[in-house]
Structure formats: C-alpha cells, structure tokens
Amino acid sequence: MSYLMGIDLGTSSLKVLIIDENGVVKAVCARDYQFASPYNGYAEHDPRHWWEACVSAIREALPKSGVKPEEIAGVSFSGQMHGAVMLDEKKEVIRPAILHCDARSSKQVKYMKETLGDKRLKELVMNPIYSGFLLPSLLWVRENEPENYKRVRHVCLPKDYIKFRLTGEITSDYSDASATLAFDIKNGSWSKEILDIFSVPIEIFPPCFNTDEAVGRVSEEASRQTGLSVKTIVAAGGGDQVMQGIGNGITFAGGSSVNIGTSGQVSFQSDIPILNPGLSTNTFCGYKKGRWITMGAIMNAGISLKWCNKLLGQTDYKKIDEAVSRVVPGSNGVIFLPYLNGERTPHLNPDISGEFVGVNINTGPIELTRAVMEGVSYALMQCIELCGELGLKTKDYMVASGGGARSTPWLQMQADIYNIPLRVMETEEQASLGAAIAAGVGAGIFKDIEEGCKNTVRYKDMEIIPDAARHRIYEEYYGLFKEIYKASGRVLEQVTLLGRKIEKENLFE
C-alpha cells in the first residue's frame, strides 16, 4: 500500500493530510496562523513562517498516521493564490509576501488598467486587474521599496515557496501562475508581452508544470527538518481553487463548486477559456493543459463569520449553529454586506467596507450572526448569477466546500438562497485531498487525476435540498442586498478611504 500527502497553504491555516491510495484518511494536522496587517487594507505574511508551520504539521502528521516516511510515495500542494513571494539571489526572503487580500496597490492597478487599455486587457490578461495579485504587488514594491525591488531575483506564489523549501527548486504550475496577471492564459506560459509592457524581467518567474507533474524529490535538508524521506516525489500542485476542484471531484467540464474558506469562491470547470466581457469574474488555467476554470471570488467569506464571532465573544460552532437555526430567514430584517476588506466579484473595489442594514432595537447577537452567514451567501449568489450570464449554469448540484461547509444551517441557507441542491464531501479537507491526488499521479500511483478522484473522492450520503418557501423569502432579501450596494457603495468607499487616511497620517497618535 502507498500513501500520499497533500498540503494546503490557506490564508488562515496550513493543513497536512495523509491518505492511502484508496482515499482512507490516516492523519490530518493543521497549524493556524494570522497574516499581518500593519495598516488597514494591508495583508502580509513572512513565507518562512509558512515553512515553520509546514514542518511542524508534517512532524505531527507522520507519527499520527502510523505511516513510515518511505511509504509516502508523493507529496503535493494547494495554496492561497495570487500572493507575491520575493526572493534574492541566494533565494532568501526579501520582505513579507503580499497576499491576495491586500488592498495597497490601487495606484498600480489603475496604472496597469490605463496602460493596457480595455481591448488589450481582455485579449492579453483575460482577467480584471485587482489589488493583491502578484504583478500589481510587485509594481507596488518597485515604486515604494526600490531597495527591495533591486534585490528581487525570483518571484513565486505562496505554495511555491514551501515547495521550494521542500525540494530546493523554485517551480510553479499553470493554475497558480495564471492567477498573477503576468500569464498568457490561452497559451499557458508567462507572458513576455505583458511583462515587457511593465518592464518586469521574465527571468525572475519560475518554470511551470501541470499540477500533477513531478518536479523533484524531498531534499536532504528538508528531510532532516520534516522527517519525510528523500525518496518521496514532489508534484507541482496548484492554486487552491483548482486543487479544491480536484478534491471535490468536479474535474468534468460544467462541474461547479461553492467554497467558503477565509475568502469565498464559486468556480466552474470548462474546456475553453471563457472571457467575461465585463471582467467581473476570473478565468484561470485548470489542473491540466486544455482545462480552465471561471470563477467569481468574494474577499470575505469565513473571515466575516470569524470577525463576527470574535466581536461577540462566540467560540463554539455547535452552539452558534443551534442559535442561528432559531432565527427566521432574513434575520428579522437584517442584511449584512460582507465587504470587510473590499470586494472582488462583482464590485472590484478594494476600498469599500462592510455594512449591517436594518438593525433594530430587537436585533441581538444571533440575528447579527445569521445575517453574516446570509450576507456571505448573497455575495456568493452574485457570483453564481454572473457565471450564469456567461452560460455557466449548474445542471444538478454544486459541491459546497471549505470551512463554512462544516455548518449544517449555513449549508441550508446557501441551498435556499441559491435554489440549488448542494453536495458535501466526506472529507473536510478538499484542497489537501486534491493535492494528495496530484501527488499520487506525480508518483505514478494513479494514471491521471480522474483515476485518482475515482479512487479517493467520496460525498456524504445526502444532498442539501433547497426549500421553495424559504427561497421565495430570500429572493426578496437578495434583491435588496444588491440594491443596498447600488445606493450606498459610493458612501462606503468615502468612509473607508477617510478612515485609512487618518490612520496612516497618525493624526491622533
């Protein structure tokens, strides 16, 4: 029997999963962490801290699994996407990685949009330019930290850094690379044309592979640190949305999922790259050449609930679930706009904040909590709607995944709001499972990703079915949710920018 390891580098935690070749889980270990936010809107993380979390989780997972290191045939990765890791000529970290949820590069985003123009943007990039993506983050460093920029010899995505520490080689994959705004999505290579326009040398970008391609083995140094064997094959891995798609078993064109992690995503698999003329969704390369995903992404999904729980002193998810189940759909007239740290789909505005509307004298913590869960689901519904406008409609079901799918009432709210049946995986670690499957292909245990999914992916024996009466109520609330932004979006932006300005100017320190 062979065993496989999948490592998911999330925004809030790193998870290590060990399975056997039939998908039986042998160990799951996680390390929680918090990114730094030195200023409002900034999100950074020292990549070395990710590696420490990775080493520590592997060191716990190996003995827990009862599997000998030599029996782990392959290891691979899923990672938070878009972030910029910058390394110098000695491959040392230059500065903290700038993450996908970072809002600092509005100026560089504007510059990129104006320089490219609408036509070239659609032809070349096929994606909206947004703060927190690798290229605008790099341009921000060039403009604001020229000394750091001069030292940059390598850039890579977050999971590529821990893969580098494991193998000694810096490599990336088509899916993660395609989500940097520096990539030719149609042809699957770094775009010299885009990089030349912005005078960024193509040499600093790593070679790319399919997610399931072997890129090396565990180095001696990494073996000493982690306890893994030097014989273990390392496969390239991919961006979390793509790896989650594998772990959710939606490798077929038309397969779709709705994910509530720290942020949230709706993604559809397709066998052509789909351009959204409104550029409000993303199109990225999929798990292999000839496969793409179209995705709507919201910035604040699970993190909205986490924020609300912290504020209200709530810690026990079971109790939270029981409490929110007692509140009627619509939270007694309260709507939450989950824009705590800006919003991507559909507003593409990093400079807005969240909002509760409809709070009244009887509104208590439970109504606020349910409103947060509903608000996140309305925002995901907007992604589903936009994908629908591109012809991407789910036929029978969507797979609900991420930490938010652990909550039964939240799942029911989602099904009722989307009016779509939801399937849920047996494993709670879908992205790590996707990574373990890719590791299995890289190590020659599975013929391909499809065979790996067939052997390991299992759904719970139930579907969450939408309720017609609740859906009708939610349709009204959802309409109002969209109206609120139309009515107050500009004011939200002014309030957000004013707050940031005063904080930065340190007027009252």
List residues binding ligand 5SP (CB under 6 A).
10-11, 80-82, 100, 240-241, 261-263, 265, 297
Per CB under 6 A, does 6 bind ligand ADP?
no
Q: What does 100 bind: ligand ADP, ligand 5SP, none (CB cut-off 5 to 8 Å by kind)?
A: ligand 5SP
C-beta of 181: minimal distance to ligand 5SP in Å?
Answer: 12
Number of residues that bind ligand ADP (CB under 6 A): 17
| Six-digit token string for 449 | 């990703």
C-beta of 410: minimal distance to ligand ADP in Å?
Answer: 6
Closer by beta carbon to ligand 5SP, 5 or else 298:
298
Classify the phi-psi angles of 361: left when phi > 0, otherwise alpha if psi is within -120 to 50, otherwise beta. Answer: alpha
C-beta of 405: minimal distance to ligand ADP in Å?
Answer: 8
**CA dihedral sign, ordered 278, 280, 284, 290:** negative
Looking at residue 144, its amino acid is N
Catalytic residue among 240, 448, 461, 467: 240
Closer by beta carbon to ligand ADP, 34 or else 494:
34
Q: What does 329 bind: ligand 5SP, ligand ADP, none (CB cut-off 5 to 8 Å by kind)?
A: none
Q: What does 305 bind: ligand 5SP, ligand ADP, none (CB cut-off 5 to 8 Å by kind)?
A: ligand ADP
Closer by beta carbon to ligand 5SP, 100 or else 347:
100
Closer by beta carbon to ligand 5SP, 95 or else 100:
100
Closer by beta carbon to ligand 5SP, 257 or else 394:
257
* 351 counts as catalytic: no
Q: If you compute the radius of gyration of the chain from its CA atoms, what whole number of angstroms results? A: 22
Enumerate the H helices of 362-467 as residue ranges. Answer: 365-389, 408-418, 430-442, 449-456
Q: Which of 48, 59, 306, 471 binds ligand ADP (CB under 6 A)?
A: 306
Q: Which of 93, 81, 182, 192 has the alpha carbon at shortest distance from 138?
A: 182
Per-residue binding letters, 390-429, with ligand ADP (x by CB under 6 A): ------------xxx-xx--x-------------------
In Å, what is the CA distance from 475 to each residue of 138, 200, 273, 296, 387?
42, 47, 31, 20, 18
Closer by beta carbon to ligand 5SP, 27 or else 81:
81
Cα dihedral angle (404, 408, 414, 419), rounded to 10 degrees?
A: 150
Q: Which helix (H) or strand (E) holds 15?
A: strand 13-20
Helices 408-418 and 317-325, interaxial angle, to 10°? 50
What's the CA gap between 67 and 2, in Å, rounded?
9
- 246, 410 Cβ separation under 8 angstroms: no
Q: Which of 294, 243, 267 has the alpha carbon at shortest distance from 429?
A: 243
C-beta of 307: minimal distance to ligand ADP in Å?
Answer: 9
What's the CA gap between 20 and 433, in Å, rounded?
11
Q: What does 13 bind: ligand 5SP, ligand ADP, none (CB cut-off 5 to 8 Å by kind)?
A: ligand ADP
Task: State which residue has the least CB distance to ligand 5SP.
Answer: 261
What's the CA gap between 191 and 188, in Å, rounded?
9
Q: What does 81 bind: ligand 5SP, ligand ADP, none (CB cut-off 5 to 8 Å by kind)?
A: ligand 5SP
Per-residue binding letters, 134-163, with ligand ADP (x by CB under 6 A): ------------------------------
Closer by beta carbon to ligand ADP, 106 or else 401:
401
Q: What does 265 bind: ligand 5SP, ligand ADP, none (CB cut-off 5 to 8 Å by kind)?
A: ligand 5SP
Residue found under tokens 């351009």: 275
In Å, what is the CA distance from 500 to each residue of 34, 103, 131, 355?
21, 11, 16, 17
Q: What does 105 bind: ligand 5SP, ligand ADP, none (CB cut-off 5 to 8 Å by kind)?
A: none
Per CB under 6 A, does 330 bind ligand ADP?
no
Q: What does 206 bind: ligand 5SP, ligand ADP, none (CB cut-off 5 to 8 Å by kind)?
A: none
The residues near 436 (Cβ < 8 Å, ≥ 6 apart) are 4, 5, 6, 17, 18, 19, 76, 456
Strand ranges inside 394-502, DSSP E: 398-401, 422-425, 459-464
Contacting ligand ADP within 232-291 (CB under 6 A): 261-262
Closer by beta carbon to ligand 5SP, 80 or else 108:
80
What's the CA gap between 431 and 15, in Å, rounded?
9
Residue found under tokens 């885009």: 194
Q: What does 237 bind: ligand 5SP, ligand ADP, none (CB cut-off 5 to 8 Å by kind)?
A: none
Task: State which residue has the least CB distance to ligand ADP.
Answer: 403
Q: Which of 4, 5, 6, 11 binds ligand ADP (CB under 6 A)?
A: 11
Q: Which of 247, 296, 302, 338 binds ligand ADP (CB under 6 A)?
A: 302
| Six-digit token string for 260 | 């509530």
Please list the active-site residues: 240
Where on the chain is the footprint of ligand ADP (CB under 6 A)? 10-13, 261-262, 302-303, 305-306, 317, 402-404, 406-407, 410
